[in-house]
Every structure is written in C-alpha cells, then in structure tokens.
C-alpha cells in the first residue's frame, strides 16, 4: 500500500499524540500516526492485576504544587483522573535490616545525611575534573559500604537526585508527586487528548490516520520528501517525519536511515544513558505488612546494592487489594527480565521473610514488566549524566533534514517524565510547522519569479 501525507508521526506515546494534536490544531489534517504495538500509550500502560488497575510504566504525576502548573496535572484534573498524594519522606524511617529490625531513626538520618554529603562531594569532584583544574579541591569520599548506606545510596541515585542537585520538575512545578490509581489508567489522558483531533467512539479511536501494528524499520529521505518503510513491507510517504521512538530504540539501530544519520547525530545518540526501571507487582492472599500511610514506602537493606530495596504497599490507593510493589533498576532489572517470574517470586519471598518473618504467605500472583527486552522500548527512560556536555542533548534533539525528533529524551528540562514527553511533542511540532512555513515561502517565492 502507498499513501502520502504532510507529516508522519512514528510512535503513539504521549509525545507522539501531543505532537499530532498540535499539528491538527494548526490545520495539518493529513497526518498519519504509525505505532508499532497494538495500542497507544507507549510507556504509559496499565494492566489489570489482582482485580485492580496497575501502572507498569509511568505511575506518578511528578512536580505538583509549585509556582508553575504542570500541564499533565492540568490534563489529569480536566479528565477527573483518580490520584493519591505520595509521601516518600517517611521511607527513610522504614528501613529494615535482614533480621527484620527497623533501623532507629537516628541511624537512618545520619546515614542519609552521609550519603547525601558523599554524593555532593562526588559531584564536585567530577565537576572539578571535567573543568580541567585537577583535584586540589577534590576529596576522597568513602564509598557507601554497609547495607543501610548502600540502600540509601541506591534510593538517592536510582530514584532521584533532588537532594543533591536541583531537578527542574520539582523546582518549577513543585515538590509533590501524585500516584495515579484509576481503573481507566494513566493512559486515559492520552485518549482524552486524542479525542480532540481523532475520530473516536465509545472510548475507542476509529480514525484511520492512526495505524497500529505498523513497525517502522526504515526511513529514507530525499530533498523533496521522506518515505517510511514498515516491517510488513508497506511504505508511506510524507513531507516530514516526527520520530518519537525512545532513545533505547534509537540506540538499538532497529530503524535504518537512508542516507545514514550524520555522525554527530549517531554519536550523540550513543552518549545518552538509558535507565531501566522495573516495578514488580506481587499479590498476596492477605495483608501482613503495616498498611498505614506512614509505612507506604519501605526499604530493605541488603549487602548487595539495589537488591529488592524499594517497596510500596497499595493500601492507600486500593485498600484490600493486598498488593506490594518492589522496584528494581538497571542491572537488577535486566537480571530479573532474563529469568522466569517464578525465580523472581522466590527471591522476593526470601526478602519479605527477612523483613516480616517466616510465617508470611507466599504471593499468589506476580507481574514483571520487561521494558528492557521490549524491542519497541529498550529501556525505561533517558538519563543525561549531571556532568555532561549540553551539546549531546542539542544534537539528540536536532532535526536531520526532514526528520524531526521528539520524545522525553528531547525535553531539555523534563527528560524522563510524562510532562517532558508531552511538552517535547508540542515543541517539535512547532519546529515542523515553522519549517513548513519556510518551505512554503520559498516555493511561493520561486513561483512569483516564474
Ligand atoms: P513512548 O511512550 O515510548 O512512545 C513511543 C512510541 O513509539 C511507543 O508507543 C512505541 O511502541 C513506539 N515505537 C517504538 N518503536 C517503533 C517503531 N519502530 N515503529 C513504530 N512505532 C514505534 N514519568 C513520570 O512522569 N512519572 C513516573 O512515575 C514515571 N515512571 C516511569 C516508570 C517506568 C517503568 C517507565 C518505563 C517510565 C516512567 N516514566 C515516568 C517516564 C514516562 O513514562 C516517559 O517519559 C513517557 O511516557 C515517554 O513518552 P514518549 O512519547 O517519549 O515515548
């Protein structure tokens, strides 16, 4: 098959949908959205587990209550999305050791401060080194080594560095975070956005400008246009492409470019770190953990860093669901993705019995998302190292001819977040509209000359 449009958007995650919406609002109606999977949403994805709706991808609206309003929080308010305030501040007082004892708050506070100080010191050292002036100022800080230090170090680095370095999400939109717990899912926000410009009926998108199960494998461009080739041998032609696939997919060379991407582009793509973040859901026959809000988040201190460290109960959002969530990242995520879920369940039970004693019941169900092995994702989100050359970011974002890049990894201030992806989509579409305007001007100009 063969068709031609003004703009093809590759990917129907939040950035792709917000990009398409802005184009439609600006009169570009002959657009086409090609999505590899059988659904919209991308890294926003709910699944029914233990009778409730759980979020395998983005789970929180982060950055609420500040001087500026988070646009995703506004969309959530407009859609009536069900959300719960998350208070992480207690987590440090709920740190269990391997014998099930909770560390006294004094020790926890001291270890916390030590970990923050050491992270700040490391950052200063890195800054000094990257700035060239060698380490007269740099101090040697002892790396974290005890289980509690390792646990806190993991929380600081693999979750958020807010205590160490200001994060735009929290400085601009506020420090609060809200857990999304809605039967319609976080992804309901995407359907609400799509409703404004695509034909929908009874919660389903029926518009043939959205094509699901279209796996893009090649993008060819010439001076006059682009051709997008899919895995099943179809091709689509357009004046421009907006490419919203993740940084992990770009790194995997899943999509081939003809002509190849210039070297400055492909090198920048390899330089961005991909984080893997895995929320494992466990359902139990009954609740054996303290279900109060002050114990919503708890930490397991083990001598292996990141080993089933960060836990959450779902009693606030879904009372009586008897669900626990444990979060793994990076190496641990990749490890559990590669093993059968029964092994993961067994490991988690050993950890839980360390914390809550031998008599607790086995989990009756487990859900392990696999973001790393998903060929349409290849990771959870981008991470630009704090000390990194800003040029890497600008190069990742910059268009190559008629190919425009979008997605959370192209948001300068909010990469790694839903609102980052949302704002990136808007930003990229504006750049495309500007380019179209310029191209039209040149065309009109040359016509007048004739
Ligand atoms: P995506 O959602 O990945 O959209 C890209 C789309 O492109 C996908 O639908 C994909 O299927 C499609 N695609 C890929 N390859 C192809 C191809 N070859 N052809 C066609 N289509 C293709 N953010 C928060 O704000 N709060 C959180 O609490 C939070 N937690 C997270 C937890 C996890 C586990 C993960 C994975 C992410 C989390 N995030 C969170 C980040 C947030 O989910 C992302 O930043 C955002 O959803 C990314 O949107 P996107 O449009 O950039 O990319």
Number of domains in the chain: 2
Provide the 10 A C-beta neighbour count for residue 80.
11
Q: What is the 3-state secondary structure (H, E, C) of 62-93?
A: EEECCCCCCHHHHHHHHHCCCEEEECHHHHHH
Atom of ligand 1 nearest to the CA of 17: 51
C-beta of residue 235 within 8 angstroms of C-beta of residue 227: yes
Does residue 328 register a pLDDT over 80? yes
Residue 275 has pLDDT above 90, yes or no: yes
The domain boundary, picked from 367, 393, 414, lies at 367
Q: Which CATH number covers residue 352? A: 3.90.660.10
* 421 dihedral zone (left: phi>0; alpha: psi -120 to 50; beta): alpha
Best probe residue, ligand 1, of 8, 9, 11, 257 (max atoms within 8 Å of C-beta): 11
Q: What is the pLDDT of residue 137?
A: 56
Region 311-317: mean pLDDT is 96
| Residue that is last in its domain, among 310, 334, 367 | 367
Residues 322 and 175 in one domain: yes
Q: Which pLDDT band holds residue 355 (cuts at 50, 70, 90)? A: very high
Cβ of residue 36 lying under 6 Å from some atom of ligand 1 = yes
Closest ligand 1 atom, residue 72 Cα: 25
Tokens of 62: 């982060």
Residue 50 falls inside a structural domain: no
CA torsion sign for 140, 146, 149, 150 is positive
Pick the atom of ligand 1 nearest to 34's CA.
20
Among protein residues, the one with the nearest Cα to ligand 1's atom 20 is 36
On the question of pLDDT at 109 being above 90, the answer is no
105 falls in which pLDDT band (50, 70, 90)? confident
CATH for 406:
3.50.50.60
Per-residue b/e over 116-129, b at no fewer than 16 CB within 10 Å?
Answer: bebbeebeebeebe
Which whole number is the average pLDDT over 309-321?
96
Q: What is the pTM assigned to this prediction?
A: 0.96
Note whether residue 159 is domain-resident: yes
The radius of gyration of the chain's CA atoms, rounded to the nearest angstrom, is: 23
Could you tell me the residue range of the domain that residue 169 belongs to?
Answer: 60-184+275-367
Cα of 149 vs centre of ligand 1, distance in Å, is 32
> Where is pLDDT greater, at 142 or 239?
239
pLDDT at 11 over 80: yes
Indicate whether 166 pLDDT > 90. no
For the chain, what is the mean pLDDT?
Answer: 94
Residue 25 is predicted with a pLDDT of 98
Q: Is the CB of 428 under 6 A from ligand 1?
A: no
CA of 360 to the centre of ligand 1 (A): 36
Distance 275 CA to ligand 1 centre (A): 12
pLDDT at 42 over 50: yes
Q: Are residues 266 and 285 in the same domain?
A: no
The residue written with tokens 């809605």 in the block is 182
Q: Are residues 268 and 177 in the same domain?
A: no
13 Cβ inside 6 Å of ligand 1: yes
* ipTM of this complex prediction, to 2 decimal places: 0.99
216 lines ligand 1 (CB under 6 A): yes
Question: How do residues 57-88 score in pLDDT, each as one tens digit?
Answer: 999 999 999 999 999 999 999 999 999 999 98
Q: Does residue 160 sit in the same domain as residue 171? A: yes
CA distance 306 to 155: 8
Compute the distance between CA of residue 168 and CA of residue 159 in angstroms, rounded to an integer: 15
Distance between Cα 229 and ligand 1 center (Å): 22
Query: For residue 298, how far is the Cα from the chain centroid?
Result: 22
Q: Where are the beta strands (DSSP E) in 204-352?
A: 204-205, 210-211, 216-221, 226-230, 235-243, 256-258, 273-275, 277-283, 297-300, 310-313, 323-329
Same domain membership, residue 166 and residue 79: yes
What pLDDT is attached to residue 449? Answer: 60
Q: Average pLDDT, stretch 173-200?
A: 97
The answer as to whether 152 is a domain residue is yes
Nearest atom in ligand 1 to 407's CA: 52
On whether both 68 and 153 belong to a single domain, the answer is yes
Ligand 1 atom closest to residue 419's alpha carbon, by position in its atom list: 25
Give residue 42 CA to ligand 1 midpoint distance, Å: 5
Are residues 68 and 178 part of one domain? yes
CA of 316 to the centre of ligand 1 (A): 26
User: Could you tell me the pLDDT band of residue 1, with boundaries at 50, 70 and 90?
Assistant: very low
Band the pLDDT of 161: cuts 50, 70, 90. Answer: low
Please state, for a pLDDT cut of 90, what percent of the chain lies above it: 81
User: Domain for residue 172, yes or no?
Assistant: yes
Is residue 214 predicted with pLDDT exceeding 90? yes
283 and 173 share a domain?
A: yes
Does any ligand 1 atom lie closer than 6 A to the CB of residue 371? yes
Q: Specify the DSSP element, H or E, that contains 365.
A: strand 365-367
In a domain, 33, yes or no: yes
Model confidence pLDDT, tens digit, residues 223-235: 999 999 999 999 9
pLDDT band at 423 (very low <50, low <70, confident <90, very high): very high
If asked whether residues 75 and 179 sit together in one domain, one would say: yes
| Segment 355-361 long-range contacts (CB within 8 Å, at least 24 positions apart) | 355/96, 355/100, 355/298, 355/300, 356/100, 356/288, 356/289, 357/100, 360/284, 360/288, 361/284, 361/285, 361/286, 361/288
Flag whether pLDDT at 336 surpasses 70: yes
Q: Which residue's CA is minimally distant from atom 18 of ligand 1? A: 216
| Same-domain check for residues 27 and 175 | no
Same structural domain for residues 85 and 170?
Answer: yes
Q: Is the pLDDT of residue 401 over 50?
A: yes
Ligand 1 pocket check for 42: Cβ under 6 Å = yes
Is 36 annotated as belonging to a binding site?
yes
Q: What is the 16 CA–ligand 1 centroid distance (Å)?
A: 10
- 52 assigned to some structural domain: no
How confident is the model over 115-148, as pLDDT tens digits? 888 888 888 888 888 776 655 555 667 888 899 9
As a dihedral over the C-alpha atoms of residue 231, residue 236, residue 239, residue 241, rounded to 10 degrees, the angle is -30
pLDDT tens-digit profile of 372-393?
999 999 999 999 987 788 999 9
Percent of the chain with pLDDT over 70: 96
Give the Å distance between the CA of 130 and the centre of ligand 1. Answer: 32
């Amino acid at each position: 098959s063969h068709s031609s449009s003004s703009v093809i958007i590759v990917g129907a995650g939040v950035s792709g949908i917000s990009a398409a919406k802005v184009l439609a609002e600006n009169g570009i109606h002959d657009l086409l959205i090609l999505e590899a999977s059988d659904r919209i949403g991308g890294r926003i994805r709910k699944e029914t587990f233990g009778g409730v709706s759980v979020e395998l991808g983005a789970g929180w609206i982060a950055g609420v209550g500040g001087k500026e309003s988070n646009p995703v929080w506004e969309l959530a308010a407009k859609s009536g999305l069900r959300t719960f305030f998350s208070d992480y501040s207690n987590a440090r007082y709920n740190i269990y050791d391997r014998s099930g004892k909770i560390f006294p708050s004094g020790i926890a506070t001291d270890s916390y401060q030590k970990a923050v100080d050491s992270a700040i010191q490391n950052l200063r050292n890195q800054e000094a080194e990257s700035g060239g002036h060698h380490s007269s100022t740099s101090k040697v800080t002892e790396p974290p080594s005890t289980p509690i230090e390792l646990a806190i170090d993991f929380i600081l680095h693999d979750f958020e560095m807010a205590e160490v370095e200001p994060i735009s999400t929290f400085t601009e939109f506020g420090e609060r975070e809200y857990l999304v717990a809605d039967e319609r899912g976080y992804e309901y926000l995407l359907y609400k956005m799509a409703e404004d410009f695509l034909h929908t009926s009874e919660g389903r998108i029926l518009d043939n400008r959205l094509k699901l199960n279209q796996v893009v494998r090649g993008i060819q461009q010439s001076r006059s246009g682009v051709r997008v080739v899919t895995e099943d041998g179809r091709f689509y032609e357009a004046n421009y492409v907006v490419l919203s696939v993740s940084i992990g997919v770009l790194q995997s060379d899943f999509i081939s470019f003809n002509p190849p991407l210039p070297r400055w582009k492909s090198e920048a793509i390899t330089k961005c770190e991909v984080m893997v973040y895995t929320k494992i859901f466990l359902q139990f026959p009954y609740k054996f953990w303290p279900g109060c809000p002050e114990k919503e988040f708890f930490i397991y201190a083990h001598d292996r860093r990141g080993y089933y460290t960060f836990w959450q109960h779902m009693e606030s959002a879904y009372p009586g669901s008897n669900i626990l969530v444990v979060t793994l990242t990076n190496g641990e995520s990749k490890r559990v993705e590669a093993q059968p879920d029964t092994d993961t369940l067994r490991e988690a039970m050993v950890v839980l019995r360390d914390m809550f004693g031998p008599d607790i019941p086995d989990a009756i169900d487990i859900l392990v998302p696999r973001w790393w092995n998903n060929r349409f994702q290849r990771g959870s989100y981008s991470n630009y190292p704090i000390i990194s050359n800003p040029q890497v970011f600008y190069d990742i974002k910059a268009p190559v001819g008629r190919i425009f890049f979008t997605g959370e990894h192209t948001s300068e201030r909010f990469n790694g977040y839903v609102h980052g992806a949302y704002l990136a989509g808007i930003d990229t579409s504006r750049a495309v509209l500007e380019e179209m305007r310029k191209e039209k001007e040149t065309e009109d100009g040359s016509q007048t000359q004739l």
